[in-house]
Chains A and B, each alone.
Chain A
């Protein structure tokens, strides 16, 4: 097949220096998928630090019983803002950011399908985030009550109704999350359109990298499940401003309706959040094990299956609302079934490593941490899916430990693996492996030290979202250990931040393909030019660079 020739502008021979206002303008007015992707990632990391500081304050508060570091009102705002930030302002922009940066590069495209929609998505997301945080200043409203929202990230009705939540704090929550959701929907539409229409010649769906497949399924999920949340938030705003009674139980509204609408979004949401990590592992493990991903069709099928099944499990968050035994059993069964495709993924990643020559670069170490920790998270997830066991564990610290194992032990470890892997491509500089190892070990030890003990606190009856507790209930030591772990995590993150700053300033030059990798993003320069590829690549298999590097044994012979 002949490659398509475009008339190309050559890059300027010596890029001139830009003044601050010029480069600011370049960033603010950009429609380049790479710059937008980077801005998504940087905003996510900034919000990660903010929400991480909030978590640290909460852990300090809970380190000892009867602590008075922060009062109940402050604490409730902290966990509301921590949860909301982590889900909507860290997890979601990571999804959008990774998809934005990598999908066009991996499918050999010059940009996303709708570059201006892409810019709109980023800025509306950022606006939503700023709006949410503005509540600290403006949340008191005319009635002088409250500041930031204190209704939990799940914002259960009727606690969010005017009767129980005065002032404007809950409105900031609903509006901030609503508009940042528009950004996620815009980005999802863009990813789907890009995957469908901008694949380079020869890149059939079957040859699309697993990462791109995962992000495609992810985008579909966002498109299907975010609108119910937006609808629920609009209904809540109607309740609060126009006297509607959707969730207003004092006028016959339904508290359970909110839960259905929230969790039909909320449960698929956790898969939406974890998928970028799934995609990352599917790219990183093969490169460092030097083997193709084991069972490619099954890996893609498993992601599609998780996407489908995840739409039918939401009420496992509601086992305690007094559903019939049939409903409880149905949602328990559906939830456990998710374990099957998830298991396939873990087995196939392991099988990819099996028989390889594993190079433990920092990126690969994060992948291994992911595998073991996500295994724990999956198994505690099975326990929670068993409805009668969940009646005990629900809303206890066991659940807190479980989902932090999925979202830190899984997602955050996966994202770090991705950052260490793709940082050279994005900046043209290598991250330091020595600092990276410090980062990995400190963070890994700290994370486990924090979250393993919380399982036990939960099994001893410690409920979530309490700002303090009395001595003598068996929770003190677990909580103290958990708080000690936070210091290790902070030290790990400090190593990471220092590593990034050092490497951007004076890191080793990366070259185009530092990992000897096989997908298209490594075929262009580091960092890639604005147009990504001078000539659109033509591919014949799922590992185009392998084919180039091994002309005597190309993949397309086996496809």
Chain B
């Protein structure tokens, strides 16, 4: 009975995850973003109060002490040179406010940076490339690109994902606002970051450090799903590409082209490291690090000439003939 239910559940299509397209930092859905949101609110209260008080004083002064039409212009107002008491007051009060802010800042910095990982932790390595993200899960033997799958954290089963951040070329920066603030991916330096999304969903982010021509289209998705879904996804990703006998010719065409110099398809001759791993390309939502939705038409357009949708990116148009293009696209579409 239970097995049957499980089977039925397994076969039912996974419900579509909510896509959080608007990455509002004031709608945090993970602990680091939550702490940052709390301290942001605190800073709004303090700076808001200062603004109202000081702007009010300035505007009051401007209005109250404007020169009137009937003023005698030869008569100068009383010449006041200063006041030690008043000046001491507006030196000491800001110092006190600053000390409060420093204390709160120190506490939140430590709580985010020095948090110790919970028992159930997923580790992954995120590697920045000019203009895409390589994602490695060493514990699962999975390599993918541009979309990070992580388990969702539940009350009572706190799960966090630890990201080791690296770069192969220039500096990039991880920023998925609803999950966490930024940490840079710097060549020759290992950085760390953790996230624990509380709701399943797709969270959008961008590379946040200028990294060259296509910085704008170095988009990132974090797909937070239930632990079981995550593990099923990881198991799927670990498999080499399926050898579909139906499309042997298409596969041969793909392997004969220079695609294989840059891309890897596990279990085939394609073992390039320069571009994203394509072993399970069709399981991804987007192409070109988020620049296009992963549809058949877009895939064909992308393979035909990536420079159309992402000018300046390092994948050239290979000038394939229509027939080659059809076969390559047909083959890529089997990489589920």
Binding site for B on A (CB under 8 A): 71-73, 76, 150, 152, 156, 158-159, 163-164, 249-250, 252-256, 289-292, 294-298, 320-322, 324-325, 328-329, 332-333, 336-337, 339-340, 343-344, 346-348, 350-351, 353-360, 368, 371-372, 375-376, 379-380, 382-383, 385-396, 459-461, 463-469, 472-474, 550, 553, 555, 558
Chain B 300-328 interface 0/1 with A at a Cβ cutoff of 8 Å (1 = within) = 00000000000110000000000000000
Closest to B190 in A: A322
| B116 beta carbon closer than 8 Å to chain A | no
Interface centre among A71, A163, A359, A460 (most CB of B within 10 A): A460
On whether A298 and B39 interact (CB within 8 A), knowing A290-B76, A354-B61, A382-B101, the answer reads: no
Question: Is B25 in the interface zone, CB < 8 Å from A?
Answer: yes
Question: When A159-B212, A375-B51, A466-B215 are in contact, do A461 and B181 touch as well, CB less than 8 Å?
Answer: no
User: A396 to B208, Cβ gap below 8 A?
Assistant: yes
Q: What separation, in Å, do the CA atoms of A529 and B21 have in the docked complex? A: 64
Specify which chain B residues have a CB less than 8 angstroms from the CB of A320 in the assembled complex. 173, 181-184, 208-209
Contact A156 B77, beta carbon cutoff 8 Å: no
Known contacts A290-B77, A297-B82, A460-B24, then 5 further A-B pairs from the complex at CB < 8 Å, ordered by chain A residue: A292-B81, A340-B98, A350-B61, A383-B43, A473-B22
Neighbouring A residues of B113 by C-beta, 8 Å: 324-325, 328
Query: Do A322 and B188 form a contact, CB below 8 Å, given A291-B80, A296-B81, A389-B39?
Result: no
**Which residues does chain A contribute within 8 Å of B90, judged by CB atoms?**
343-344, 347
Complex: how many Å from CA A505 to CA B236?
Answer: 78
Residues of B within 8 A of A379 (CB): 47, 50-51
Q: In the complex the two chains form, what is the Cα distance from A289 to B184 in whole Å? A: 49
B64 to chain A minimum Cβ distance, whole angstroms, is 8
- A328 to B23: give the CA distance in the assembly, Å: 25
CB interface residues, B 132-182, toward A, < 8 Å:
165, 169-171, 173, 175, 177, 180-182
| Pair A159/B66 contact, Cβ less than 8 Å | no
User: Are A321 and B105 in touch, CB under 8 angstroms?
Assistant: no
Task: Give chain A residues whose Cβ lies under 8 Å from the Cβ of B78.
Answer: 291, 355
Determine whether B187 belongs to the interface, using a CB cutoff of 8 Å to chain A. yes
Contacts of A371 in B (CB 8 A): 58
CA distance A354 to B90 in the complex (A): 15
Give bound CA distance, A473 to B213, whole Å: 21
Question: By the criterion CB–CB under 8 Å, are B81 and A346 in contact?
Answer: no
A322→B101 contact, CB < 8 A: no
CB distance from A76 to the nearest CB of B (A): 6
CB distance from B278 to the nearest CB of A (A): 23
- A355 contacts B65, C-beta separation under 8 Å: yes
Which among A290, A360, A386 has the highest number of chain B CB atoms within 10 Å? A386
Known: A72-B216, A255-B188. A357 touches B182 (CB 8 A): no
Q: Could you tell me the distance between the alpha carbons of A380 and B275 in the complex, rounded to whole angstroms?
A: 40
Interface size class of B (residues with CB under 8 A): 35 or more
Q: Contact mask B36-77 → A, CB, 8 Å, 1/0? A: 100110011011001100110111011001110001000011
Asked if B214 is at the interface of the complex by the 8 Å CB criterion, the answer is: yes
Task: Decide: A156 near B209, CB < 8 A? Known: A289-B65, A321-B184, A328-B113.
Answer: yes
Tell me which of B3-11, B199-207, B227-235, B241-249 binds A.
Answer: B199-207
| Contact, CB under 8 Å: B23 / A460 | yes
| B32: A residues at CB distance < 8 A | 391
Take A158-B187, A392-B33 as given contacts and tell me if A474 and B98 are in contact as well, using a CB distance cutoff of 8 Å: no
**A395 close to B39 (CB less than 8 A):** no
Chain A residues within an 8 Å CB radius of B66: 357-358, 360
Q: What is the distance, in angstroms, from B329's C-beta to the closest C-beta of chain A?
A: 23
- With A159-B170, A329-B109, A392-B36 known as contacts, the answer to whether A386 contacts B43 (CB < 8 A) is yes
Question: Contact between B188 and A298 (Cβ–Cβ < 8 Å)?
Answer: no
Least CB separation from B182: chain A residue: A320
B1 proximal to A (CB < 8 A): no
CB-based contact B91/A340 at 8 Å:
yes
Q: How far is the CA of A376 from the CA of B112 in the complex (A)?
A: 28
Which of A158, A294, A355, A356 lies in contact with B170, CB distance below 8 A? A158
CB contact under 8 A between A459 and B105, given known A249-B188, A356-B77, A391-B181: no
Contact B23 A375 (CB under 8 A): no
Nearest Cβ on chain A to B185's Cβ, whole angstroms: 10
Nearest chain A CB to B81 CB, angstrom units: 6
Q: Evaluate contact between B82 and A294: CB separation under 8 angstroms.
A: yes
Given A324-B113, A461-B177, does the pair A158, B169 have CB atoms closer than 8 Å? yes
- A249 contacts B187, C-beta separation under 8 Å: yes
B94 within 8 A of A: yes
Chain B residues contacting A459 (CB-CB under 8 Å) are 24-26
Judge whether B95 is part of the interface by a CB distance below 8 angstroms: yes
Asked whether any CB of chain A lies closer than 8 Å to the CB of B334, the reply is no
Contact B188 A339 (CB under 8 A): no
Known: A320-B184, A325-B113. A291 touches B177 (CB 8 A): no
Between A and B, 16 residue pairs with Cβ closer than 8 Å are A164-B212, A255-B189, A290-B76, A294-B82, A295-B81, A320-B209, A322-B184, A325-B114, A336-B101, A350-B57, A355-B78, A368-B58, A386-B105, A388-B112, A395-B182, A465-B216
CB-contact partner of B94 in A340, A386, A387, under 8 A: A340
